[in-house]
Amino acid sequence: MRFQRPVALVGSVVVTLLVANGINVGLSKDEFSTNYPAVVCPPTPNNLTTAISLPSSKTEFRLTGTKSLSLIPTQTLRYMQAKAPVIIESQGATPVVWQIRKDVWAGATICSSLQNEQWFVGGAADVTSTGRIMLVNSGLSAAIVDLQIWNEVGLQPSKPVTLKANSYSEIGLDLLAPGSRRVVVQAITRSGRVTSYMLDERGKGLRALGGDIINFAPSATKEIFIPAIPHTVKKVGTKSVELPHSLRLLVPGEIDARVSVKVLSTDGTFIPAGLENKLVKAGSVVTLDLNPKLPTSKFGIQISSDEPLVASVFSSTLAEGKSDFIWSTAVPALTKFSLATTGIAPQLIFIGTSISAEAELFFNNGKRKQVIISGEEIATLEVPDGVRSVTFKKVGKGIYGAGLVATKSGYGYFPLAAGSVLTKSSVPLSNIRVLTP
Amino acid sequence: MSSHRVTAILVIHDGALWLPEVLASLTSQTYPVNKSVAVDTGSEDGSAKIVKGARIPVLPMARDTGFGEAIGHAVSTLPKIVDPEREWIWLIHDDLTLHPSALANLIAEVETKPSVAMAGPKLLGWHDHTHLLEIGVSIAANGNRWTGLESSEYDQGQRDGVHEVLAVSTAGALIRRDVFEQLGGFDPNLDLFRDDVDFGWRLYSAGYTAIAVSSAIAFHAEASANERRMVDVAEAFLHRPLLLDRRNAAYVLLVNSSLWLLPILTVQLLSGAIFRAVGFLFAKLPGYASDEILAVGALILQPADLIKARKVRRAYRLVPSGIVSRFIPSRWSQTRLALSRSAEWIRTQLFPAEITEVREISVLDENLDEEDLLTSASNRSWVNLLKRPLVALSLLLFFLTLVWSRNRFGALSGGALPEQPNGVSDLWDIYFSGWHSIAMGTSAAAPPWLAVVAISATPLLGSVKFFIAVLFFLAPLAMATTLHLLLKGLSENRWLTVSSAVLYAISPVAISAINSGRLATVVILILLPLLVKAAGSWREIEKFSWRRVFSISLLVAILAAFSPIIFLFGIILTGIAIYHDYHDSDQGLNSELFNYRLYRRIALVLTPLLLCAPWSFELIFNPNRFLIDSGFLIPGGGPNLAIFGNPGGPGSLPLAVLSPLSIILIISLFSSTRARRVAEFGFFSLLSAVLISAISLTGNGTLVPTRIYPGTLMTITTLSAICAAVIMLDKLRDRLIATNINFRHISAATLLVATILYALSSIGWIVTKGATSPLQTGREIVLPAFLAIESDAKTLVLRPRTSGKEISLNYYLARGGDISLGQPDMAPQDREQISNAVRELTDGSGLTSSTTFAVHGIKYLFLKSPVDENIARVVDGLGGFNRASSTNAGIVWKTVGNTGQVLFKDASGKGSVLVEGILGITVSAPGELTLTENYSLGWRAMQDGQRLKRTRSVDDLPVFTVEKPGLVTLMYDGTLRRAWVSLQIVVFVTVLVMALPAGRRRREIEDAELA
């Protein structure tokens, strides 16, 4: 046959290639394991009460500072934490911590997993302050944390802190930066599994001025979103007086920043006078007045800068006739995650150019409800009582959210951010090649 | 006319062959011989009759009479001496002819030198009159006969003149009769051989001198020494001339040397005899080997003769025997001559004398005189030299290699090549050791290629690093050279063969192998052409001599040691060949042919397996390893790259640089020449490579499934394609010119264009990107220096590895340093306990990881940079590990539990770490010793000469029960390994002896070659 050889040639090549590509003998991809790291909640300072909302009564936890390392179920949907911080295996759900000094102030935060870097923008170290930073080492080895402190003067000498294994520590802000009126603290974990929290509590003489938990920002960025700033109008006689806000900024680099602050509210989006292209000096903590004169009760801001910076908004509040203050802090973009809200019925505020998200409310009675969140610039979701968790199932791009909780003890603010994210780690394989350059 | 009186004494012993010429020359001397007398030592060939026919009186003696005794007998028959200083005896052998003026020239010289009592002629070959045999003789300290001449030295008058020498050969020696009688003649203990040197030595001790006179010429057949006749003297045990020569050499040295020199001389003689005996064994001359040993042994066992002879010499000695030391060759002279002979031998092996074109003298040249003929006819300028393909393309390849290797001048590592130890002794240590401290330790056999590397590195001052660097630098040139040796037999077109060889050196597989440090493939690329050349006609293996079979076996063993797939390929080919043999031998009816082939084929398969044992046997039990080459397991490029002749993997050519190999194979498959058969072979190899490159395996210390690198198969493919192309293209031009344009023209053009495009693009790639390959010099060391200090501490190294877009974690146990050459091949299997502990460590659940590490003696955990902060946090958080350091290199944690190489638990369960001292381990109480190494039957613990009871722990570690406090010695019993290595050495030496060219007995050498 004239074409026998070419056909045999082509056939053998094709068959070989098919077999070679098809059988893929013994090839296996690297194995990966996924899990949600445990989250750590802040300790309960003296005379404070802490309630932690949990997604399930079967959620396991353990206390720091004890020898027992075994996890036990909480058997409740709202765990009342004693002094020692708890470590919770929440399996992806983010517990919300509600902390109050009864009838004095209230604050909220989320329990989160270990953090490499945390920025706390807020608090003071002057005579009015009894604020403190709380460091929790949930690991079983000693940990080292460097605390970098900025105040209105500039960067202060850093304070390395060593934490024993499975322990926590509280450090007063007055010890870190004595006399400072405006403080920004950066906690950098050098080694160990450390999660830090900050409490701003103030008083004048015997009079309590309020307090709040200052939520952290993970890093300094050029775009900052602070979604939920409560705007309170106080009746003084017949007059309505808007309670003031102040914007605290720190440009941690060496170059001054040009900053623009945009207010997002249901009454529109605008840049308040004097807050466009504002020059902010680098290296020291700066405070700017933020009085947008709005009829609405909540608003958010977007800060744009040509240099990375950190920011938060200090707002005086009035909740059920009690004066308090609140620190609204920067949040990361909203992602799909689940938030445990048992017993707090928060108001969730979202900002963004075009807000489109879908959440599922999971009630204590086992019912579920789908909620569509949509809007321009700002949107709000009131979480009703009896909801144990809110799960964000669909989330559009460029949405930022935070929660506000108002009780008779005061206002609390927490970011809508996952306390722990699904981590994917490869299963290590033995490979002698690690010992060659 | 001189008044010297000369008596010629002719000793004959079966010399009929030479005697007519001898007698003729004797009688035609221009200086008259006063008297001639012959002594016949029992000749059986009519020699006496011939001599008598010349009217020379013959004195008959017994057949076993020695030469000295025969001379002595002849001298005793002479009349009394009248004029002592003018009476001479002239010793003539029956295989010595003399130039007519020989005697006249000798007499002329001795007449002017009164102290001379012995003079000898210049001895030239009997058959080759230009072959200078001797002009004076001496003895070296090792007993060798020393003439100071090069092997087969051509006589051009370069040694002419009158030289004072220690002695001259008795053949043609002119000796003053009174001195001869005064010294008692030749030593009766020296029947034959070396009597001349002994006499000369005694002559000097008595105050006389000896000279060699080059104007006196004689031609010597050296019949006895060259085994042209039986040596029948009484002392010649078994009639063996070499034995007698060596025995007499030792005798001469021991009886004449100063007393204080005797011990060192004895040692020298003995060691020299052993050394030469080994040499003779390698040359397959066991008889000569035994001669060497017997000669010295016989002499040393009979010291009475030596003592007596020394007494005799003392009586005649006027000056110390050391007076002759100026004639004893220095060690340097001997070394220089040995080197010169070795170099000459190598040169003749490498460049055998070629028949050069002889330019016939034309009419125009008739007027040329002889001097003109000596001048080279061709005009060899440098430009002409550069026009020669071999020179031009070799230079091109050399300069290309220089650029290519610009980052590889120095100690190399990277890719598949691990760090190398400094010296060959380290390699030998690894090779001979029964236990290897890799990870948790292994008793796996060291691969035989380590021995090949060690042997090869020895000439380079024993530096393994230097050898590896040189090998990788010269690899392209070496590949081209060996392939050219093969291609020379396929075509006479040097441009074609040389450019094909260069193409081979820059083929995708060569580039990939060099760039990724694949030692195995580089060696295969260099040696495979030699194997093909040696075994090319193996279908007709019955024509192969056994020597050739064993030579090929050795080569196959070397190749298979580096790349075990050669075993598989060899077995498959042998199976096919035996099938064909069966048909060739008329279905086995021609059993003689079938058996001839079968035995040789079996030898070819089994010998390499035996040579590589026990390593090769381990392969049989773990067949995956047949597909894995030496070194680190790094991936190939997969089947879709392999189909284009590119094995792929790190450092390989990108797909865009398309190799013409597949095109060549396809075109060759349609060729009608024998290129088709070669191409079929290459095509089969290519398809095998494609299939194999799809397979992923684990091994050589890695559990990461890795695509097989088909380097060896791709080498076979490349080699086949190039050979097919050369066969096809040879003389194709003439055929193309002679025919109209047809498919051949198109095929040739396609092939040419594809090849040129590839050559240009690959050279461009080599020049630009070739140097930035995984194989580099000056790589950083993985393990920080402070961890390497604790050489016995185990460190678990965690390191992220990038595989495509995924970053995964890998780990391995370091034992005080990075992985060294050979260690990946022996790396033990991973332990489940450790892998679980590491997995749990990284996912954060490993609360007991630290304990597991401590149990296995893992002291440190090292997270190599770039550090994954999450893992660092996880480890920090788990507990059981204390941070020891955090540097740019990475983070080091120390395991909290006390751990080390030897763990001890006393009866109460209290644990401690014991440190091994010089003498051993001191144990303070009864208890259990745990060695944190993999369990092996070879582990021993000794206390007070008793072996301690050994058990296997649940963690698979060896545990020894110590009954009482005291010193305990821990060791690994490597007897089994030593036994294997001994067997391997025996097999290797046997195969080497079989493979080496056999030495020839002197009787087997042509006369013209000897003298």
Question: Could you give the percent of chain B with pLDDT greater than 90?
Answer: 38
Tell me, yes or no, if B66 comes closer than 8 A to chain A by beta carbon: no
The residues spanned by each domain of chain A are 37-425
Q: Using the predicted structure, report yes or no on whether residue B351 has a pLDDT greater than 70.
A: no
Q: Residue B154 corresponds to which tokens in the numbers above?
A: 């051509």
The DSSP result for B289-344, as a single string, is: HHHHHHHHHHHHT-HHHHHHHHHHHHHH-SS-GGGGGGGSPPHHHHHHHHHHHHHH
d(CA A395, CA B542): 81
**Using 50, 70 and 90 to split pLDDT, how confident is the model at B942?**
very high
Question: What average pLDDT does range B940-966 have in this prediction?
Answer: 92
Residues of B in Cβ contact (< 8 Å) with A21: 639-640, 694
Choice between B997 and A217, residue whose per-residue pLDDT is larger = A217
Q: Using the predicted structure, report yes or no on whether residue B372 has a pLDDT greater than 50.
A: no
- Residue B817: the pLDDT is 82
Listed in sequence order, the residues at least 6 apart from B293 whose beta carbon sits closer than 8 Å to its beta carbon are B273, B274, B277
Query: A435 and B640 in contact by Cβ < 8 A?
Result: no
Query: A434 and B812 in contact by Cβ < 8 A?
Result: yes
User: Chain A to chain B, count of Cβ pairs less than 8 Å apart?
Assistant: 195
- Residue B361: the pLDDT is 43
Query: B811 and A430 in contact by Cβ < 8 A?
Result: yes
Q: Using the predicted structure, report yes or no on whether residue B349 has a pLDDT greater than 70.
A: no
Query: A436 and B419 in contact by Cβ < 8 A?
Result: yes
d(CA A15, CA A10): 8
Choice between B382 and B591, residue whose per-residue pLDDT is larger = B591
Residues of B in Cβ contact (< 8 Å) with A165: 879
Query: A434 and B810 in contact by Cβ < 8 A?
Result: yes
Question: What average pLDDT does range B554-569 have in this prediction?
Answer: 92
Tell me, yes or no, if B880 comes closer than 8 A to chain A by beta carbon: yes
Query: A435 and B827 in contact by Cβ < 8 A?
Result: no
Residues of A in Cβ contact (< 8 Å) with B801: 431, 433-434
Tell me, yes or no, if B123 comes closer than 8 A to chain A by beta carbon: no
Helix (H) or strand (E) holding A198: strand A194-204
Residues of B in Cβ contact (< 8 Å) with A114: 873, 877
Is the Cβ–Cβ distance between B895 and B859 less than 8 Å?
Answer: yes
Q: Using the predicted structure, report yes or no on whether residue B313 has a pLDDT greater than 90.
A: no
User: Which of B632, B795, B802, B876 is most worth mutating to test chain A (most A CB atoms within 10 A of its CB)?
Assistant: B876
User: Positive or negative CA dihedral for B496, B502, B506, B510?
Assistant: positive
CB-nearest partner of B704 from A23, A139, A431: A431
> Which spans in B817-940 are helix H?
823-826, 832-843, 849-855, 869-878
Q: Residue B250 corresponds to which tokens in the numbers above?
A: 């030792």
Nearest chain A CA: its distance from B471 CA (Å): 20
Q: Kind of pairing, strands B939-943 and B946-947?
A: antiparallel
Is the Cβ–Cβ distance between A428 and B809 less than 8 Å?
Answer: yes
Tell me, yes or no, if A237 comes closer than 8 A to chain B by beta carbon: no
Q: In what order do the strands lie in the sheet with A143-150?
A: A155-163, A143-150, A184-191, A117-121, A216-217
Q: Using the predicted structure, report yes or no on whether residue B514 has a pLDDT greater than 70.
A: yes
- Residue B972: the pLDDT is 93
Residues of A in Cβ contact (< 8 Å) with B414: 436-437
Choice between B712 and B334, residue whose per-residue pLDDT is larger = B712
User: Which of B812, B815, B865 is most worth mutating to test chain A (most A CB atoms within 10 A of its CB)?
Assistant: B812
Q: Residue A67 corresponds to which tokens in the numbers above?
A: 């020898």
- Residue B999: the pLDDT is 64
pLDDT digits (tens, 9 = 90+) for B802-830: 766 667 789 999 988 888 899 999 999 88
pLDDT digits (tens, 9 = 90+) for A394-407: 999 999 999 999 88
Question: What average pLDDT does range B21-50 have in this prediction?
Answer: 90
Phi and psi at B214, nearest 5°, equal -75, -20
- Residue B376: the pLDDT is 47
Residues of B in Cβ contact (< 8 Å) with A140: 847, 877-880
CB-nearest partner of B877 from A32, A138, A430: A138
Question: What average pLDDT does range B121-133 have in this prediction?
Answer: 89
Query: A432 and B690 in contact by Cβ < 8 A?
Result: no
**Using 50, 70 and 90 to split pLDDT, how confident is the model at B937?**
very high
**Using 50, 70 and 90 to split pLDDT, how confident is the model at A24?**
low
Nearest chain B CA: its distance from A364 CA (Å): 31
Question: What average pLDDT does range B139-159 have in this prediction?
Answer: 84
CB-nearest partner of B697 from A19, A26, A436: A26
SS3 A315: strand
Q: Using the predicted structure, report yes or no on whether residue B547 has a pLDDT greater than 70.
A: yes
Tell me, yes or no, if A260 comes closer than 8 A to chain B by beta carbon: no
Tell me, yes or no, if A421 comes closer than 8 A to chain B by beta carbon: no
Question: What average pLDDT does range B10-18 have in this prediction?
Answer: 89
CB-nearest partner of B882 from A32, A37, A141: A141
- Residue B360: the pLDDT is 44
d(CA B202, CA B755): 76
CB-nearest partner of B694 from A24, A32, A426: A24
Tell me, yes or no, if B784 comes closer than 8 A to chain A by beta carbon: no
Listed in sequence order, the residues at least 6 apart from B877 whose beta carbon sits closer than 8 Å to its beta carbon are A114, A138, A139, A140, A141, A192, A193, B844
Task: Read off the DSSP letter of residue B515.
Answer: H
User: Which of B702, B808, B847 is most worth mutating to test chain A (most A CB atoms within 10 A of its CB)?
Assistant: B808
Burial category of A400 from C-beta neighbours within 10 Å (exposed 0-12, middle 13-18, buried 19 and up): buried
Q: Using the predicted structure, report yes or no on whether residue A320 has a pLDDT greater than 80.
A: no
- Residue B232: the pLDDT is 64
CB-nearest partner of A426 from B808, B823, B880: B808
Query: A432 and B702 in contact by Cβ < 8 A?
Result: yes
Tell me, yes or no, if A20 comes closer than 8 A to chain B by beta carbon: yes
Q: Kind of pairing, strands A105-110 and A216-217?
A: unpaired
SS3 B562: helix
Q: Kind of pairing, strands B911-914 and B902-906?
A: antiparallel
Question: What average pLDDT does range A326-334 have in this prediction?
Answer: 93
- Out of B340-349, B498-507, B696-705, least confident range: B340-349
- Residue B353: the pLDDT is 55
CB-nearest partner of B700 from A37, A114, A432: A432
CATH 3.90.550.10: which residues of chain B? 5-340
CB atoms within 10 A of CB A376: 13
Query: B843 and A35 in contact by Cβ < 8 A?
Result: yes
Listed in sequence order, the residues at least 6 apart from A258 whose beta carbon sits closer than 8 Å to its beta carbon are A277, A278, A279, A280, A305, A306, A307
- Residue B2: the pLDDT is 60
Q: Using the predicted structure, report yes or no on whether residue B779 has a pLDDT greater than 80.
A: no
- Residue B369: the pLDDT is 46
Question: What average pLDDT does range A260-277 have in this prediction?
Answer: 88
Question: What average pLDDT does range B55-69 have in this prediction?
Answer: 88
3-state helix, strand, coil in chain A (%, to 5): 5, 55, 35
pLDDT digits (tens, 9 = 90+) for A204-235: 777 777 899 999 998 999 999 999 998 888 87
pLDDT digits (tens, 9 = 90+) for A300-315: 999 999 999 999 999 9
Tell me, yes or no, if A189 comes closer than 8 A to chain B by beta carbon: yes
Tell me, yes or no, if A68 comes closer than 8 A to chain B by beta carbon: no
Tell me, yes or no, if B876 comes closer than 8 A to chain A by beta carbon: yes
d(CA A87, CA A41): 6
- Residue A304: the pLDDT is 94
Phi and psi at B465, nearest 5°, equal -60, -45
> For chain B, first and last CA: distance in Å?
34
pLDDT digits (tens, 9 = 90+) for B393-425: 888 999 999 999 988 888 888 889 999 998 999
- Residue B147: the pLDDT is 86
**Using 50, 70 and 90 to split pLDDT, how confident is the model at B335?**
confident
- Out of A46-50, A420-424, B599-603, least confident range: A420-424
- Residue B350: the pLDDT is 58
Tell me, yes or no, if A128 comes closer than 8 A to chain B by beta carbon: no
pLDDT digits (tens, 9 = 90+) for B433-468: 999 999 999 999 999 999 999 999 999 989 999 999
Tell me, yes or no, if A434 comes closer than 8 A to chain B by beta carbon: yes
Phi and psi at A361, nearest 5°, equal -95, 130
Query: B418 and A165 in contact by Cβ < 8 A?
Result: no
Domain with residues B5-340, CATH architecture: Alpha-Beta Complex (3.90)
Residues of A in Cβ contact (< 8 Å) with B780: 437
Tell me, yes or no, if A71 comes closer than 8 A to chain B by beta carbon: no
- Residue A360: the pLDDT is 94
Residues of A in Cβ contact (< 8 Å) with B877: 114, 138-141, 192-193
Tell me, yes or no, if B812 comes closer than 8 A to chain A by beta carbon: yes
- Out of A183-197, A302-316, B543-557, B658-672, least confident range: B658-672
The mean of the pLDDT values for chain A is 88
**Using 50, 70 and 90 to split pLDDT, how confident is the model at A189?**
confident
Q: Using the predicted structure, report yes or no on whether residue B374 has a pLDDT greater than 50.
A: no
pLDDT digits (tens, 9 = 90+) for A233-263: 887 777 888 888 999 999 999 999 999 999 9
CB-nearest partner of A30 from B419, B806, B874: B806
**Using 50, 70 and 90 to split pLDDT, how confident is the model at B1001?**
low
CB-nearest partner of B704 from A17, A191, A429: A429
CB-nearest partner of A433 from B702, B705, B886: B702
Tell me, yes or no, if B747 comes closer than 8 A to chain A by beta carbon: no
Q: Which of residues 652-711 of B touch A (CB under 8 A)?
A: 666, 669-670, 683, 687, 690-691, 693-697, 700-705, 707
Tell me, yes or no, if A21 comes closer than 8 A to chain B by beta carbon: yes
- Out of A38-52, A157-171, B136-150, B713-727, least confident range: B136-150
Nearest chain A CA: its distance from B781 CA (Å): 6
The mean of the pLDDT values for chain B is 86
Query: A434 and B811 in contact by Cβ < 8 A?
Result: yes
